[in-house]
């Protein structure tokens, strides 16, 4: 059996800004027209997020795909911990606060300043700042990464204004809270899968060392850069807030640092820079002796970071575990940008394998260019690897992720995203031929929407680029030239796929999984 995850390709009949519908994709259209197909939920409560107003994302999507169950995720976990007060009684919070109080030092917050609920939520930051003042913290500095990807493309000033209003309200003779540095999330700090350590290096220099172009405040920096570079928020250069030529928020010995992103993939590398003494990815110049923690532990196998405020979901009884128990030989492949999704997130936030003899993972290195410049990305190379593995006869279950619809969709370029979808379809054509040649069953799905809504209507009825994920369902398609499978009527989500796969493989599935669709 072969599972193809078309990252970021949702389904909607609305043609406005719909790069999926606009794309020439004969193979996908044929599959959806002639073979068992249903649309399934890939957002909100179906993937463990607080409400159905919350967009899905690749991480929670692949958790659901790979474990067949729905766990409280990201924002929901943190919401619960803040609301019931457990975060503030945790050993890590007490350590963070106690360090600053005893040393009269500064508490720093680093993270994505938005309410996209994919990597972070500004409300979590605001709640922690309020609590910090209540507990005797004298100085807070925020190092704000600008979004424009999971929220509107040029909405950064709204979030800066929101935070500045809170800080102005809190600031008095006993408390000084300010934004100290920042930059676009695709320029500094938030690299993932070690694709571009220079981003992390630039973030370290900005947040820790106070190196960068200086401004009086964050609003000035954003406004200036927008005029100068004409880019959306995620691509804004780094900046440092200074007074009289001196940065107001460098990170020093005896300070505490909270990385308030809850999603792990783009938090791991900056966590390494703070946590690891033996670190050689770039020259840190100096490593301040601080109490550092993450909102969650971003990698359980690496114990990274050592300190974290909210325990992540303990995902058990995953699909890979079950297949290993049944001696099913597995293969996973994607390019760097989504490699961790078919391995780490798929296996329940675990970096390793359940059985190295039965599982093979293959990574195709991604290009280091803006994805709208090469919207085909490494789809052809991923297809080469997948077909080679299929024809080897070594594997029973193979899975692949094509990142194109998501990564190119995030750039806001409609034309590039249409090409991205067409590139995936071309690869599906090749995969389908290999499926026939190897007598395999093909499953085609997606982890969330993105390319299906590339435009949104702004004030006055004008159209503007939309770079965030969507709330649209995703396709689930079964192609089997030997048998026409019947899909049961019902309302399904990504977590139903695991049981469906095992049923197609002729296996029972654990009782705690969501039900099979066939």
What mean pLDDT comes out for the span 146-165? 96
Tell whether 272 and 157 lie within a shared domain: yes
Banded model confidence at residue 44, pLDDT cuts 50, 70, 90: very high
Structure tokens at 478: 């079964």
Say if residue 36 is in the same domain as residue 101.
no
Residue 127: the pLDDT is 98
In a domain, residue 192? The reply is: yes
Query: How far is 244 from 248, CA to CA, in rounded Å?
Result: 10
Residue 103 and residue 56 in one domain:
no
Task: Please check whether residue 283 lies inside any domain of the structure.
Answer: yes
| Residue of 349, 468, 351, 402 lying closest to 60 (CA atoms) | 349
Residue 452 lies in a domain: yes
Tell me the C-alpha distance between 124 and 33, whole Å: 44
Q: Tell whether 236 and 97 lie within a shared domain.
A: yes
In whole angstroms, what is the distance from residue 31 CA to residue 33 CA?
Answer: 6
- Check whether residue 351 and residue 492 sit in a common domain: yes
Instruction: Report the percent of the chain where pLDDT is more than 90.
Output: 90
Describe the chain by its helix, strand, coil percentages, rounded to 5: 35, 20, 45
The answer to whether 140 touches 105, Cβ cutoff 8 Å, is no
User: Taking Cα atoms as reference points, which of 241, 222, 218 lies closest to residue 230?
Assistant: 222
| pLDDT value of position 386 | 98
**At residue 121, does pLDDT exceed 70?**
yes
* Residue closest to 305 by CA, chosen among 349, 371, 259, 351: 259
Provide the percentage of residues in the chain whose pLDDT is more than 70: 99
List 33, 51, 58, 256, catalytic entry = 58
Residue 58 among the catalytic residues: yes
The Cα-based distances of 205 to 95, 145, 222, 273 in angstroms read: 25, 14, 19, 11
Q: Which residues contact 482 (CB under 8 A, 6 or more apart)?
A: 439
Record the tokens describing residue 56, joined without a space: 């899905």
54 pLDDT tier (thresholds 50, 70, 90): confident
- Whether 324 and 229 map to the same domain: the answer is no
The whole-number average pLDDT for the span 489-507 is 97
Residue 512 lies in a domain: no
Find the domain containing 440 and state its range.
2-71+314-504
Q: Are residues 476 and 346 in the same domain?
A: yes
The crossing angle, in degrees rounded to 10, of helices 58-67 and 497-504 is: 40
Average pLDDT over residues 482-493: 94
Q: What is the DSSP letter of 304?
A: B
Question: Does residue 300 carry a pLDDT above 80?
Answer: no
* Domain boundary, last residue among 310, 327, 354: 310
**Half-sphere exposure of residue 480, counting CA atoms within 13 Å on the CB side?**
15
Average pLDDT for 186-208: 95
Q: Which residues are 331's β-sheet partners?
A: 360, 398
**For 203-223, b where at least 16 C-beta lie within 10 A, e where not — what string?**
bbbbbbbbbbebbeebeebbe
More confident residue, 298 or 278: 278
90-100: pLDDT as tens digits: 999 999 999 99
Residue 75: the pLDDT is 84
What pLDDT score was predicted for residue 471? 95
> What is the pLDDT at residue 301?
59
For 20-40, the three-class secondary structure string (H helix, E strand, C coil) is HHHCCCHHHHHHHHHCCEEEE
Distance CA 98, CA 92 (A): 10
Q: What is the pLDDT of residue 459?
A: 65
pLDDT tens for 220-241 read: 999 999 999 999 999 999 999 9
**What is the arrangement of strands in the sheet containing 359-364, beginning at the earlier edge strand?**
37-40, 474-479, 442-445, 2-6, 397-402, 330-335, 359-364
pLDDT of amino acid 310: 94
Residue 344, phi then psi, degrees to nearest 5: -60, -55
369 Cβ contact list (under 8 Å, min separation 6): none
Dist CA 272 CA 292 (whole Å): 11
Q: Are residues 479 and 457 in the same domain?
A: yes
- My answer on whether 404 and 265 are in the same domain is no
Q: Are residues 347 and 252 in the same domain?
A: no
Question: What's the confidence (pLDDT) of residue 314?
Answer: 82
Arithmetic mean of pLDDT over the chain: 96
Decide which of 290, 310, 330 is a domain's last residue. Answer: 310
Residue 146 placed within a domain: yes
CATH (domain of 170): 3.40.1450.10
Instruction: Output the domain CATH number for residue 393.
Output: 3.40.720.10
108 and 39 co-located in one domain: no
Please give the average per-residue pLDDT across 97-115, as a whole number: 98
Q: How many domains does the chain have?
A: 2
pLDDT of residue 464: 85
Residue 518 belongs to some domain of the structure: no
Query: Does residue 515 sit within a domain?
Result: no
Residue 62 lies in a domain: yes
Residues 12 and 140 in one domain: no
Strands (E), 32-114: 37-40, 106-112
Burial letters 481-517, b for 16+ CB under 10 A, else e = eeeeeebeeeebbbbbbbbbbbbbeeeebbeebbebb
Q: What token pair was written down for 140?
A: 């807070």
Domain boundary among 278, 310, 342: 310
pLDDT for 461: 74
Residues making up the chain, counted from first to last: 518
CB atoms within 10 A of CB 30: 15
Over residues 422-465, the pLDDT tens digits come to 999 999 999 999 999 999 999 999 999 999 999 988 767 788 88
Q: Which pLDDT band, with edges at 50, 70 and 90, does 299 fall under?
A: confident
**pLDDT recorded at residue 394:** 98
């Amino acid at each position: 059996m072969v599972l193809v995850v078309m990252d970021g390709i949702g389904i909607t009949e609305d043609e406005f800004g719909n790069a999926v519908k606009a794309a020439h994709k004969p193979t996908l259209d044929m599959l959806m027209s002639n073979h068992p197909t249903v649309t399934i939920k890939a957002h909100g409560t179906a993937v463990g997020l607080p409400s159905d107003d919350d967009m899905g994302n690749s991480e929670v999507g692949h958790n659901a795909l790979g474990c067949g169950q729905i766990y409280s995720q990201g924002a929901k976990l943190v919401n619960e911990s803040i609301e019931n007060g457990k975060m503030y009684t945790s050993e890590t919070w007490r350590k963070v606060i106690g360090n600053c109080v005893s040393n009269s030092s500064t508490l720093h917050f680093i993270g994505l300043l938005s309410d996209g609920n994919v990597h972070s939520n500004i409300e979590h930051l605001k709640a922690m700042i309020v609590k910090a003042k209540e507990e005797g913290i004298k100085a807070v500095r925020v190092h704000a990464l600008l979004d424009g990807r999971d929220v509107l493309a040029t909405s950064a000033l709204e979030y800066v204004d929101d935070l500045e209003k809170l800080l102005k309200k809190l600031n008095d003779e006993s408390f000084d809270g300010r934004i100290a540095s920042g930059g676009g999330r695709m320029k500094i700090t938030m690299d993932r899968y070690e694709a571009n350590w220079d981003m992390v290096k630039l973030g370290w220099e900005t947040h820790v060392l106070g190196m960068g172009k200086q401004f009086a405040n964050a609003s000035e920096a954003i406004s200036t850069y927008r005029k100068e570079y004409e880019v959306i928020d995620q691509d804004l250069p780094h900046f440092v807030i200074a007074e009289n030529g001196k940065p107001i928020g460098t990170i020093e010995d005896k300070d505490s640092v909270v990385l308030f992103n809850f999603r792990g993939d783009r938090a791991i590398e900056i966590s390494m820079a703070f946590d690891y003494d033996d670190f050689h990815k770039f020259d840190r110049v100096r490593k301040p002796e601080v109490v550092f923690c993450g909102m969650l532990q971003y990698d359980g196998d690496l114990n990274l970071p050592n300190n974290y405020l909210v325990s992540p979901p303990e995902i058990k009884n995953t699909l890979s575990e079950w297949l290993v128990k049944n001696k099913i030989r597995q293969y996973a492949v994607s390019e760097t940008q989504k490699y961790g999704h078919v391995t780490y997130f798929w296996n329940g936030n675990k970096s390793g394998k359940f059985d190295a003899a039965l599982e093979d993972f293959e990574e195709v290195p991604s290009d280091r260019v803006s994805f709208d410049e090469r919207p085909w990305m490494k789809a052809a190379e991923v297809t080469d690897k997948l077909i080679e593995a299929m024809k080897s006869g070594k594997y029973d279950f193979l899975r692949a992720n094509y990142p194109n619809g998501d990564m190119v969709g995030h750039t806001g370029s409609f034309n590039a995203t249409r090409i991205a979808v067409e590139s995936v379809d071309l690869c599906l054509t090749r995969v389908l031929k290999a499926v026939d040649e190897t007598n395999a069953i093909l499953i085609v799905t997606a982890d969330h929407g993105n390319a299906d809504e590339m435009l949104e209507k702004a004030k006055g009825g004008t159209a503007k680029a939309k770079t965030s994920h969507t709330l649209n369902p995703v396709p689930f398609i079964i192609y089997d030239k030997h048998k026409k499978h019947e899909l049961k009527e019902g309302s399904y989500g990504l977590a139903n796929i695991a049981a469906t796969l095992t049923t197609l493989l002729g296996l029972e599935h654990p009782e705690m999984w969501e039900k099979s669709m066939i």
